[in-house]
Amino acid sequence: MAEIFRENPDILCFSCYIWNINSILDICRDYKKISPQTIIILGGPEVSYDSQRVLQRNIAVDYVIKGEGEAALRELLQSIYLNSSLENIKGITYRYSGNIHENPDRELINKLDMIPSPFKGDLGYYKNRLIYYETSRGCPNNCTYCLSSTIKGVRFFSLARVKDDLRYLIEKRVKKVKFVDRTFNCHEKRAREIMQFIIDQTEKNNASTTFHFEICADLLSEEMLLFLKQVPKGLFDFEIGVQSTMVEALEAVNRTFNWDKLSRNIKELRKGNNIHLHLDLIAGLPCEGYTQFADSFNDVYNLKPDVIQLGFLKLLKGSAIREQKDDHGYKFQTNPPYQVLKNKYLDYAELIKLVQIEDILDNYYNSGAVGNTVSYIIKNVHNGNAFCFYEELAEYWQNNSLFAIGHKKEARYSFLKNYIDYFYTSYSQKVNELLKYDYLLNNKSYNLPSGIESCNPENINDLLYSLLKNEGFINKYLAPISSYTRREIKKQVHLECFKYDPLDCNTITDDLAYLFVYNPVLKRAGKTIKISLACANSSL
């Protein structure tokens, strides 16, 4: 509020969403006390669907703009400046003569190119940030939980406009561009042309900007899949909203897709190993209880995406599912974000468990920190049932009061080892070796987390020096840093011995070590080199 006050605005405008509405209303109430002459205008989805109620409850707010705001805001500002009548401005609600007036809704903007680009000029503010960018408005789907379903059809910015914007953003080397198109590939030919343009401009400018798209995987054609396999690695991220694999739940929210085609296409994308895949699930959909959600979780987990986002249904203002809340017995938060608390199919106790599972999923899957260990435990301890593993680990965390407390990253390895030691002692030694491998793979460290044991011999440093003195070894495995002194190389590597091969835990060994290489010149942290201790000893 102090920063706003220093700007001394005549008119103060806020875009209101579920994540900021409470703070905005607090600021409005307090700001009017110190600057009663300032005109306050609100817009956005959190005020568009009950604009009269917003004004009734918040006397500090003077105007609300409903729906798309570009044209309405311009006309409102002109009217305020000229002190002219407001009655012909569509899409606004306002105070006049002690009463609240709501004008008719405004038609949607047909030609989106009439909206000036917000990205021309100095982009210094966006350094090391991401930019949200739209090439279209609307969505071909009509999911009842989404506000896009309240607007029929899809409108597009022209390709010329999109290319002009993207060229500018790439030339300015913006860190990340996140497309907010609800289904970017609903018009596949257009989507492919934009993607090819991005690839060409990135190569032309030797740029490092990355791009995030929300897509429907079941819409991808064979031709598109072939095209996507040629995309430079790391350039694109795909977010794919699966939400559920239960047919009844999807039908209840007007969402349908071909699961066989969707899963097949995701597997094809994974084969390319060049696009970061982020799959979404929503807990709390109609008809889907705890057990059914577990099935959806396992279906998505088995596709092995890079990230799984376990979200929770929010009954947003203006959404059809909020109007249908009684049909499914929904109880949800009174205040934003209006997250589900229970329904006919999922009680609050079960929902709490899913919230905790979400936390565990972020720590042990999405972080990528313990991938080899978790894969082994799910396959061998839980017979391939991923949900069962995360559920049981979440219960262990709860019983040991580990939630809602800050932990160092090393702690997640110790907690997982303790969980295995407590429930599955026969797997302790193998899990110890796997955790050791995962930790050293993902962290430049020479010390292991608490509870994880090393089996290094006393002469481990001598063995390491013998390797680094071997010119043949250096030239074969560490050529990019061969010009470094051996002392410098030693600071960039770690040698660790293993009782089981972490990449094949059925193999018991007393002759195995891995050299972990952390130097960024080698392009990726955590490069490993398999070492025979016998060979290392023979060169001493």
3 state SS for 117-132: CCCCCCCHHHCCCEEE
Query: If you ran DSSP here, which 8-state letter would residue 146 be given?
Result: S
Instruction: State CA 400 to chain mean position distance.
Output: 28
Residues of the chain with pLDDT under 70: 522-526, 534-540
Look at residue 536 in the predicted model and tell me its pLDDT.
58
Rounded CA-CA distance 112/422 in Å is 60
Percent of the chain with pLDDT over 90: 83
pLDDT digits (tens, 9 = 90+) for 325-340: 999 999 999 999 999 9
Rounded CA-CA distance 443/352 in Å is 32
Phi, psi of 416 (to 5 degrees): -70, -40
Per-domain residue ranges of the chain: 2-102, 124-346, 368-452, 460-538
Sequence letter at residue 141: N
Which of 4, 60, 8, 63 shows the shortest CA–CA distance to 29? 60
Query: If you ran DSSP here, which 8-state letter would residue 115 be given?
Result: S
- Strands 63-65, 39-43: pairing kind: parallel
Rounded CA-CA distance 20/316 in Å is 14
- Common-topology check for domains 2-102 and 124-346: no
pLDDT digits (tens, 9 = 90+) for 27-80: 999 999 999 999 999 999 999 999 999 999 999 999 999 999 999 999 999 999
3-state SS, one letter per residue, for 396-441 = HHHHCCCCCCCCCHHHHHHHHHHHHHHHCHHHHHHHHHHHHHHHHH
Rounded CA-CA distance 540/534 in Å is 10
Which of 493, 537, 486 shows the shortest CA–CA distance to 512? 537
Look at residue 540 in the predicted model and tell me its pLDDT.
45
pLDDT digits (tens, 9 = 90+) for 482-519: 889 988 999 989 999 999 999 888 878 888 999 999 88
Rounded CA-CA distance 263/102 in Å is 47
Query: If you ran DSSP here, which 8-state letter would residue 427 be given?
Result: G
Look at residue 301 in the predicted model and tell me its pLDDT.
98
Residue 155 is encoded by which pair of tokens?
A: 């409108």
Find out whether the peptide bond into 337 is cis, omega within 30 degrees of 0: yes
Look at residue 52 in the predicted model and tell me its pLDDT.
97
Residue 197 is encoded by which pair of tokens?
A: 């343009």
Cβ pair 361, 310 in contact under 8 A:
yes
Rounded CA-CA distance 57/52 in Å is 9
Q: What CATH class has 124-346? A: alpha beta
Rounded CA-CA distance 508/393 in Å is 27
Q: Which CATH number fits domain 2-102: 3.40.50.2300, 3.40.50.280, 3.60.20.10, 1.10.3720.10?
A: 3.40.50.280
Contacts of the segment 383-386: beta carbons below 8 A, 24+ positions apart? 385/298, 386/297, 386/298, 386/301, 386/302
Residue 255, SS3?
coil
